[in-house]
Structure 1
Amino acid sequence: MSNENDDNPNLNNILSEINKAQASNKLPPVEQWNPDFCGEMELVIKRDGTWHYQNSPIGRQRLVKLFSTVLKKEDDNYFLVTPVEKLGIKVEDAPFLVLKMSLKNTDQGQVIIFTDNCDNTVALSEDNPLWVEQDAKTGEPSPYIMIRRNLHALIHRNVFYQLVELAEERIIDDKKHLGVISAGEFYSLGTI
């Protein structure tokens, strides 16, 4: 985790910079593409963030990043789409995995910035919220953050531990929550 102190820059400027950086990547407008379904592709995104084609990991990260730009989710199904093709793929948990976080101090408090395995960078904010799901059997937490267009990322365990180190306690609905503040909002990591 890095802590960047730029003499408390403006929160809106930071969020704008991140949005501009994402826009400059010129993601294809997959939400506008609705081609006919062409069948299933033997592509699986594993829970650990690796992409596998025909049971073999894709070793070229540039190819993974390229595929990630044409990823689309409809209901609970994932697809790779072009203007003329739509191929179903499997996603074991989330299509992205957050590997890094940093902090920026702003005029409105701290902002937590996340970067995932496909180099998507998002600020934990109202537009990119964080939530934690508990495994019903083990009770193990699985933290997530929204990346874009209803696609989310699982937050790697090491990054989650960094969040826990930053966390503070709050009472919400008569329950004690441990959570973090980013962009002026409190995000619960779970009850204690």
Structure 2
Amino acid sequence: MPPSLSGEQRFDIRIARDGTWYHEGGPIKRIELSKLFATVLRRDEAGDYWLVTPVERGRIVVDDVPFVAVEMTASGRGEDQVLSFRTNLDDWVEAGPDHPIRVAHDPESGEPTPYIDIRMGLEARIARSVYYDMVNHCATTNGPEGEEAEVGVWSNGRFFVLGRLSGA
């Protein structure tokens, strides 16, 4: 954060789990405006989200993560595969060392929720339909002796674990 900015202000902006941006309780209908806000979106070390401009900054509410990956393309096969994801705000990223995929599991249901890093610690939740498409590109690797096999995807030379196979 620029040191010249003092004080803490809260903007009445919220990003819903589905990626919809809201201002004062109503959805922002112009995607261009949401895209503009996204260019100044930052996340601090504590996990709080801020809109930061050269003259002001304000905290906003993000229900889950600020973006949703709504489309995926795949090229290549095996370790040479490249998975590219498009967000709800039309940003494209290739999964790999600079844009890792992670999977969180709901502590109660165990249901997986996959995410991809978009930029500077800002993530996109991978939409369920995109996740199912991604699973079609999975590979299985043998875990170390005595451990479960891992199921995941290759992209840009990196293997991202999506889950483990019990008894494999």
Is TM more than 0.5 here? Answer: yes
Asked if 1:134 corresponds to 2:109, the answer is: no
In structure 1, which of residues 64, 75, 84 is the aligned counterpart of residue 55 of structure 2? 84
Q: CA deviation at 1:36?
A: 2.2
Distance 1:104 1:37, change over 3 A: farther
Aligned pair partner of 2:33 in 63, 76, 81: 63
Pairing of 1:18-33 with structure 2 (within 5 A): 33=2
Contact 1:45 1:90 survives alignment (8 Å): yes
Higher relative contact order, chain-length normalized (CA < 8 Å, sep 6+): 1
Length-normalised TM-score, structure 2: 0.89
Q: Name structure 1 gaps, 5 residues minimum.
A: 1-31
Quote the residue 1:103 is aligned against: 74
* 1:183 matched residue in structure 2: 156
Query: Hey, which of these two has a bigger chunk of helix by percent?
Result: 1
Taking only aligned residues, the RMSD between alpha carbons, in angstroms, comes to 1.6
Distance 1:37 1:77 in 2: 15
Secondary structure of the residue that 1:166 maps to in structure 2?
coil
Counterpart mapping for 1:29-68 below 5 A? 33-34=2-3, 35-68=5-38
The AA in structure 1 aligned to 2:134 is L
User: Paired residues, what number?
Assistant: 160
Give the superposition deviation at 1:171. 2.5
Flag structure 2 segments of 5+ consecutive residues without an equivalent. Answer: none
Q: Which position in structure 1 is the counterpart of 2:115?
A: 144
